[in-house]
Structure 1
Amino acid sequence: MAEATTRVKALLDAGWEVCTADEVRLEHEAWTRRMQPPKEGSAPSRSVDRKKTSQSFFGALSLTSKKVKLYPIEGNQNTEQTILALERLQRETETEKIAVVLDNARFHHAKALTDLHEPGRLLERITPIHPPPYAPDHQPGRARPEHRQEQHHHHPARDPRRNHHRIRPTRHRPHRRPQLRTPPTPRNQKRFCFMTAIVRAGFVKSLE
């Protein structure tokens, strides 16, 4: 990550237009609930209509002018839509040399896109910059599972010596006694009644 940061700083000092770009997808879901008046002898009928819409955008933040440019994406995010957005960004940028910092999405490394940055091709003015695939120091939300688990256990909020709100006082409740439940009796097993056995034994002795 330090190498990419050093490269971006050098390009800014050389007068390049450096942008950080990424895709985003916005979703909106609307629920419409309707209830019809009941008819004679029937309950009221209910219906729910769900409409879900979404729109993807390609955004580019200029590190020199601090302005954001948004380009709508038709359909899904793929290599073709990225090429169209980068071509539009190149056309609207007056600076001759442009550097775009992209993430490591699969379609950002597609051959159909990387070949267009060669001299004489469609995106010859744009130089892509990709950060390293794993940078937990700058992306704490995308750390490895074992790294997140270690941070979770050693977080100051989980230490009762630092966080007194986590200490819950216990109260002694002598009026509450544990209630033990007897195990259920299987259906195929006959219940044995001790009083019935005593009565039967006394009746047999009286006959003797």
Structure 2
Amino acid sequence: MALPALLYLHGGAGIFGTPDNLDARHRALLEARGFTVISVDYPKVIGSTIHATPAALERTVTALAAESPTGTVVVVGHSFGGYLTLWLAATHPAVARAVALAGYGDLLADWYLTPSAHYAATKELRGFRPEMVTPASSWDAKFDLYVYLRKTGGWPGYVSRADLDSLAAISPLRARHGQSKQTGIPLPVGQSSSESAAFGIDNTYQLRKSYT
């Protein structure tokens, strides 16, 4: 049976991460099952905004689907890559299956808009300012930026350049339910499993059930 192309999207909050984040063992298992695995380095938000990333990946999926034996694509993503996976599943007709691992369906969820108690208890970042980090900065500097943004609840504002309303348009759950405004929206809450359930996506076993 011909299998679709499989697109893997790494995590990193749109700030760091590379295509090499896909574990070699996982890639080998998928390729042994007959999948052609593609992992891309999508646009990051430092020096830009988050809006370039979903748009670039929509074009990527369209191109992959045109070359795929089935005309479709399976998308697998972790964390921020899981968010992008949910976005593509909600909006792109060529996505046949999606597996979101620790992904999030709403960029305006409270857990991202408010300071994180977990990150508040991590390393001190005295004197740190987001503008100190550039696309050429080290992985450690980019991770410090992420920690700072989680400590302050500032990630949504940073990736949107303070245009929070614009994030509603690229939030998968809002796209799925036809919602576009920032406030007053009844949405499923939580991260990963509950949001994936809203899409009918089984986080762990979707590929195995569909292609065995």
Structure 2 length normalisation: TM-score? 0.26
Query: Which one has a larger percent strand, Structure 1 or Structure 2?
Result: 1
TM-score normalized by structure 1?
Answer: 0.27
The structure whose residues are more often helix, as a share, is 2
Larger Rg: 1
